[in-house]
Amino acid sequence: MPRFRDLHISTKFNIIMSLLLIVLFLAAAFMTYRRQQALILKVAVDNARSFARQIIETRDYMSSVVRGEPEKNYALVPQVVATRVAKRITSGSKYYVRQVSLRYRNPENRPDDYETAQLRIFASKDGGETYRVIKVRGQEAFRYMLPMVAEKSCLECHGDYDSAPPFVRALFPRGHFSFNYKLGEVIGAVSVTIPMADLYREIGTNLELELLYRAVIFFIIILIMGTLIRRTVINPVTLVSATITRVTRTGRFDERIPQKSNDELGQLVGTFNAMMEELEHKTLQQQESEERYRGMIEMAHSAIVTFLEDGKIVIANQEAERLFGLSRQDLLGEIIYGFLMDGSDVEKGIRKFLQEGHGGGVGETTFHHFQDRRGGTTSVEIALSASRAAQKTMFTAILREVSRS
């Protein structure tokens, strides 16, 4: 896998944008989830509280007005009325409302584990409603409980056995644990339950759908941003970089990039174009001066060769072709030292000049025996000069035949 810094700028950009998208989405998902949870809990508590209140009010009212009616009609027992009313109120919803007590009369009002624990807490200390989301058999459920305390009217049937109405005494024998409550004692609680899944459905929130909307919106934003950045930054940079690469390869300086903006990138393009202009100009000048130099040496009556430090001939004129007995093509690339009887001395002189910057026969005219490829030898007078260009020293030798033997 390539390292990040080796990737193309557009790939990097795509990676960064994707990461941004994911991070944004996760953050939004987290926040949406939290907000939904809070909202759902609030709705659940509000509903549960109002159900519980209605039940307690119903019971309190019934308890304060009944005067022996339950004796003939059990359906008028405050608890029974409250239970029926609760059933009617909650019908059609998934809320499940009961009234429970640790010392129950009706086995249907026996508390479950959670309710038992809460009732114990209510009994041990004063407190109001409690609510919590608990997990029962893998299912999350919202549980709400509101304690009920014994008032004076309640004690008529829940106080002393002896003062209780006959129907109560008939149903629940002396010593039954549902008697002997004291004023203010917790007698039971209203318990409201709703499975969380039903709660979500009831409130009509849908986390998945909401997240999908978010994802789509983020995606569109990032797409637009990405396109803008791509057009204003990445494409121009890529274009400049590709052009520079091409110019380096072809050596053609006539390339120009259209400048489309006036920002920093536009300026970069402008600078690039100016640089290309300059380079093109310089190259032309150089080509022209080279041309002129060639033309000039062609006119000379002596052989002229230009060679590098290692003696390799890079420029030669027509006279040189004749003197060396080689076509120009063959001559270029030959080592000049090989054509001189004292070639190794000349080479040493060149090296000395390179080291010390002077001497070694450079700038002087010296005599040598020249040996061409056909085996002929000639005495030549060599005028040697040096020139420096781009860290490289080049040498030009003008060879004038003194006599041919």
Residues near ligand HEC (CB under 6 A) are 59-60, 63, 66, 70, 77-80, 99, 101, 104-106, 109, 148, 150-151, 153-154, 156-158, 168, 178, 187-188
Closest CB 147 distance from ligand HEC, rounded Å: 10
What 386-390 contacts at long range (C-beta under 8 Å, 24+ apart), as own/partner pairs, is: 386/353, 386/362
- Residue 107 tokens read as 């086995």
In whole angstroms, the minimum distance from the beta carbon of 202 to ligand HEC comes to 27
Nearest to 100 by CA among 158, 196, 187: 187
Q: Could you tell me how far CA 4 lies from the centroid of its own chain?
A: 13
346-383 burial, b if ≥16 CB within 10 A, otherwise e?
Answer: bbebbeebeeeeeebbbeeeeebebbeeeeeebebebb
Q: Which is nearer to ligand HEC, 90 or 109 (CB)?
A: 109
Nearest one of 214, 148, 160, 168 to 68, comparing CA atoms: 168
Minimal distance, residue 82 CB to ligand HEC, in Å: 8
Query: Toward ligand HEC, which CB reaches closer, 168 or 340?
Result: 168
> How many other C-beta atoms lie within 10 A of the C-beta of residue 137?
5
Check if the beta carbon of residue 375 is closer than 8 Å to that of residue 390: no
Nearer to ligand HEC, 104 or 200 (CB): 104
Given the complex with ligand HEC, which of 149 and 300 has the nearer CB atom? 149
Would you state the structure tokens that stand for residue 304, as one six-digit string? Answer: 């002229």
Q: How far is the CB of 163 from ligand HEC (least distance, A)?
A: 11
> In this complex, which beta carbon is closest to ligand HEC, that of residue 59 or of residue 143?
59
- Extract the tokens encoding 285: 């000048």
The minimum distance between CB 174 and ligand HEC, in angstroms, equals: 15
Q: Which of 102/380 has CB closer to ligand HEC?
A: 102
> What region, left, alpha or beta, does residue 312 occupy, with left being phi > 0 and alpha being psi -120 to 50 degrees?
beta
The least distance separating ligand HEC from the CB of residue 186, rounded to whole angstroms, comes to: 9
Q: How far is CA 44 from CA 141, 150, 169, 249, in A?
A: 11, 27, 39, 73
Q: For residues 90 and 306, which CB has a smaller minimum distance to ligand HEC in the complex?
A: 90
Residue 310 has which token pair? 């290692």
Residue 167 in contact with residue 70, Cβ under 8 Å?
Answer: yes
CB of 101 to ligand HEC, least distance (A): 4
Amino acid at 106: N
Residue 311 backbone zone (phi > 0: left; psi -120 to 50: alpha; other: beta)? left
Quick check: 165 and 77 in contact, CB under 8 A? no
User: CB of residue 90 vs ligand HEC: minimum separation in angstroms?
Assistant: 17
Closer CB to ligand HEC, residue 122 or residue 272?
Answer: 122
- Looking at the Cβ atoms of 63 and 317, the one nearer to ligand HEC is 63
Least distance CB 93 / ligand HEC (angstroms): 22
- The amino acid occupying position 8 is H
User: Residues 6 or more apart from 128 whose CB is under 8 A from it?
Assistant: 146, 147
Closest-CA residue to 87 (of 65, 58, 130): 58
> Which of 147/226 has CB closer to ligand HEC?
147
Q: How far is the CB of 142 from ligand HEC (least distance, A)?
A: 21
